[in-house]
Amino acid sequence: MLETKTALRYDEALEAALNRIENLLKADYGISSRSIGLLLLQGDPDIENRVREHEDADYEQIQEIVSQARQSYSQPLSYIIALRRQQEVKRLLSTVGRIPGGALPKG
């Protein structure tokens, strides 16, 4: 089976912040810069420390992007991101094959 990876898309403001953060990240963190950006937006303290250590020149700009993004929402970004992920899980589950009558196939 051919597997393709497609990043989960968030709203326009969050995607813009993520793109700006991704473009500033230079170090190799062992995971995608998009994942690092999402963790920063969610306030992960370990990732914040790692980025502070590795992105000396651009750290202040990254923090400003994170701060602006947080101010754009009335709820914490961790909540906004979790809601979007739940929506995607529900969408994926709705595409799972079902037999007539709505029951899941046995297997």
Residue 6 lies in a domain: no
pLDDT at 71 over 80: yes
How many domains does the chain divide into?
1
CATH of the domain at 36: 1.10.287.1770
The arithmetic mean of pLDDT across residues 84-105, rounded, is: 76
The answer to whether the beta carbons of residues 17 and 69 sit under 8 Å apart is: yes
pLDDT at 10 over 70: yes
Torsion over CA of 89, 91, 93 and 99, rounded to 10 degrees?
A: 180
Q: What is the pLDDT of residue 92?
A: 83
Q: What is the pLDDT of residue 100?
A: 59
Residue 64 lies in a domain: yes
Q: What is the pLDDT of residue 97?
A: 65
For residues 23 and 2, the model is more confident at 23
Q: What is d(CA 7, CA 4) in angstroms, rounded to the nearest whole number?
A: 10
Residue 101 lies in a domain: no
Residue 103 lies in a domain: no
pTM of structure: 0.80
Average pLDDT, the chain: 88
Full residue range of the structural domain in which residue 74 is found:
12-93
